Structure 1
Amino acid sequence: MTTHALQFTVEAVDDSSVLGQSSLTVDGSGAPAIAYVVGTAAGTAVRVARRLNGQWTHEDTGGIAAGDDVRISLSFDSGGVPHIAYRDGNSDNAIFGTRRDDGWSLEEIPTQAGIIVRSAADVSMQIEPNLNDPPFADTPTVGYRDGFHGDSAAVARKVGGSWQISGVDGPSDVRTGLSLAFDSSAGLRLAYFQGFDDGSPVIPQPLKLAQEEVSDVGDTHPPTFVNSVIDSEMRAAESVSMARGLFAKVLVAYADVRTRTVRAWSGSLGSEPTIEVVAAGNDANGPRFPSAAGDPHQTLFVAYLDGGQVVLARRGPAGWTSQPVATGGGWPSLEFGKDGTAHLAYGTGTLMYARGTVSPG
C-alpha cells in the first residue's frame, strides 16, 4: 500500500498550442502515452504522444476534436496497438481510431442500431485486455450520449467487424459527463449524470452508475445494463471520472460547481458505499476536472486542478489527503503502472507529464 507521499519528476511533452484536454494511459511495457488536442490554423487536431527510450514522440491522427468540453479516450489492445475515441468537431459524430502500419485509420461509429451514424457526446472508450476469448478479444467498447435519442446513455461494442449498440439509460436534459471503465475482472460500468428539467432554477443532475449484466458464456448479443442513482444531491455537475482496473472496488470522482467540491463515491465488496469530499475550494478556480485511479495495491487516488495547481489526493485510513504536484492547468489525467508508478498528464499551451514514485523513508 502506498503510504508515503509520491515524488514527482516533471517534463514537457509538446508545446504546440496544446488545449487542456488529455487522456493518459500506459502500454503493455509500462510506457506512458497521451491523446490530446492541439490548436492549428485548420482547427483542433487530435494528436498522440508516446514516451519511448526516454524521449517523447508526437503524431497527428488526422482527427478533428470537438474542443475542450469532453475528454478524448486512449487505450491499447493486447498487441500494443493504440486506439482512440472522441467526438468529431465538424459532425459531432463519435469517432473510433486505430493506429495501423501506414498511419491512423478513423471511422464513424454507427450509434443508431449499429447501422446509421448519428451525433454523440461524452465519448468514453476502453479496450479490456482481460477479454481474451474470441469473439471478444480486444473488443473496442465505447460509452456515449446518443444525440438522436435525447442524449441517452449508450454503449457501442465492435464485435467481428460490426458495431453492437446497447441502451444504458433514458434521455437526459443536460450533457455533463460520462465515464466508462472495466474492473480487473472485465466487469463493465458507466458513471454519468442524468439531468431532469423540473422547472427549478438549477436542474437536478443525479449521479448514476450502470453495470453490465452478466450474460451466458458465448452469448454474442449486445449486453444489457442495470442502473441506479448513487448521488441524488447533485445540481451543478461538471465532469466525472471512474477508476479502471480495480479489484472488488469502484471509485467515481466528480466535480460539483455549486458547492465547489470534488467528491468521491466509492464502494467495495461487502461494504456500504460512501460519498466523501476529496477537496473543497472557495472560488470558481477549483477544485475541478478530477481524474480517478487506483494503484496496484488498490489504494484510491484522485488528481484534480485547483487554483492553477495540479493536485493529487490519496485515500488513506483517516480519509483523503492531498499533495501539490506542479503548477499547471487543463484536465489532469492519471493512471498507475503495474509497478506502482504514477503517470499524470496535464497542461494548456504546453502538455506536461509528471512521473511519481514513492519517496524513501
Structure 2
Amino acid sequence: MATPFTFEAVANDIAVSGGEVSLALDKAGNPSIAFSQAGSGQIIVARRNGGSWTHENVPGSFIGVDIRPWLAIDSTGNPRLGYQDLSSGELIHAVKSAGQWSFTHISTKLTPIQGPGGVAGVTFALHPGRLDTESRDVGYFVYVDLATDGIGFAHTGSIGPTPVTVQVDTTELTTFADPSVSFDPSENFFVGYVSFFHSGSPQDFVSVRETHVVDIEQGTFSTPAVIEGSQQINVRRPTSIARTFSDGCLAYFDMASKILKASVSSGGFSGIETVAANVNNIVTPSAAANRGDFRVAYSDTDAIKLASRSPSGTWTVEPVDAVSAGSPSLAYDNAGTANIAYVAGGTLKYARRSE
C-alpha cells in the first residue's frame, strides 16, 4: 500500500487567482511555488524551508487570470521566472540574485511582418549545465508568437541565435498553441505543442506534436513528429512533457473523448497510452519522471489524482486529495519524493509523499 500524502496550506491568507501554479525544487529538494493573487494578478513566490513557508511579492510583476508564471530554481538556489506580462503582453525573465530582483524583456517576434506583438502560452526551463557548463542556468523559453500564431524559441545565452522559429505556417491555415518543454539528463531540449488546421469544416484538424533542438548554435529544431492528429480529437489545454535518458512521456488531455493520454517512448516501444478515462475536468496535466518511471498529476472534478506508470506500461490512478482544484504542478526530488502544488477553493495547497 502506498504511503499517504501529507498536506500543507501554503497561503491561507492570500486569495489565489485561477488555478495555474508552478512548483520547482532546489538541489536539496526544498519546494518553491509561483502563483498569482486574485484580483491584482500580482506574482508571488512561496518557499518552504525547514517546514515553514514564506511568501514574497515579485516587484512589478503581474499576469492575467489562468496564466501560469513558470518557475525554476537556478544552480545557486535562486528563483527565476518566465511569464507573459499583463500590461505589455511581452515575455519577461525575472531573476533574483543577492536579494534583489532584476527583469529582462526577452525578444520574441519571429518575423518583421505587421501584426500584434507579444506572446501567449509561455513555458520555461533552465539549462542544467552539468555537461555543458557554459550554458548552466541559461533560460530556455518556448511560446506562441502572436504576430504569426507560430511556436517560437528564445534563450538568454550567448550561444546561437535568439529568437528562432520552432514551427510557423505561412499560409495561415494552421495555428499553434499550448507548448511544454523538458530537458533530459543528457541536456537535450524537447518541446511538445498542439496544432490546429483550420480547413473551414465545423471541426479543426487537431494534432499533438513534438520536436527537439538539433543544433543550438544554428538555432535549428528537428522536423516535428505528429504524435496524434484527427478531427475527432480536441486538445485545448497545454501539453506536459517529461524525459529520462532515453525515454519520454508527453501527456495531454483529449476533451472530445475525455481521456488523459500520454505518448510514451520506453524501452524501444513507442505509442499512445490511456492514462485515465472519463476525466471531466478540463485542466492541464503535469508530467514528471521518478527514477526512470513516469507520473502524471491531474485534476478531475472529484479529486487531485496521480497516475503512475509501471515499467511494464500499466497506468495506476490514485486520489491524492478529494477536492475540486485547478491544474496541479508535479515534481520529484532525487530521493523519489512526490511534490504537488494546486489551488482548491482559492487556497494554495501542497502535498508531499515519499515513494
TM-score by length of 1: 0.88
One-letter amino acid of the counterpart of residue 55, structure 1: S
Aligned pairs (5 A) from 1:157-306: 157-160=155-158, 164-171=162-169, 173-174=174-175, 176-214=177-215, 220-233=217-230, 235-268=233-266, 270-271=268-269, 273-281=270-278, 285-286=280-281, 288-296=283-291, 298-306=292-300
One-letter amino acid of the counterpart of residue 303, structure 1: A
CA RMSD of aligned residues (A): 2.4
- Which blocks of at least 5 consecutive residues in structure 2 are unaligned? none
CA deviations 1:223-268 (Å, max 9, x no partner) are 4343121111363212234344522111011111111111111113
Which residue, 318, 321, 324 being the options, matches 1:323? 318
The offset of 1:333, in angstroms, is 0.5
The offset of 1:294, in angstroms, is 1.1
Mean Cα deviation higher: 127-136 or 340-349? 127-136
Cα distance in 2, alignment partners of residues 134 and 314 from structure 1: 33
One-letter amino acid of the counterpart of residue 226, structure 2: V
Inter-CA distance 203–165: structure 2 relative to 1 (3 Å threshold): same
The offset of 1:315, in angstroms, is 1.1
The offset of 1:175, in angstroms, is 5.6
Which residue, 332, 337, 345 being the options, matches 1:336? 332
Inter-CA distance 224–163: structure 2 relative to 1 (3 Å threshold): same
Inter-CA distance 112–85: structure 2 relative to 1 (3 Å threshold): same
Inter-CA distance 152–123: structure 2 relative to 1 (3 Å threshold): same
Cα distance in 1, alignment partners of residues 241 and 288 from structure 2: 4
Counterpart contact for 1:212–1:226, Cα < 8 Å: no
The offset of 1:163, in angstroms, is 7.2
One-letter amino acid of the counterpart of residue 154, structure 1: G
Mean Cα deviation higher: 307-316 or 103-112? 103-112
Cα distance in 2, alignment partners of residues 114 and 129 from structure 1: 30
Cα distance in 1, alignment partners of residues 313 and 134 from structure 2: 45
Aligned to 1:22: 21
Inter-CA distance 160–190: structure 2 relative to 1 (3 Å threshold): same
Q: Kindly, what percent of the aligned residue pairs are identical?
A: 30
Aligned to 2:306: 312
CA deviations 1:51-105 (Å, max 9, x no partner) are 011101111113111220x432111221222111111122221111101224322
Aligned to 1:8: 5
Cα distance in 1, alignment partners of residues 112 and 339 from structure 2: 38
Mean Cα deviation higher: 43-52 or 174-183? 174-183
Give the secondary-structure state (helix, strand or coil) at the position aligned to 2:253.
strand
Number of residues of Structure 1 aligned to a counterpart in Structure 2: 343
TM-score by length of 2: 0.89
One-letter amino acid of the counterpart of residue 110, structure 1: S
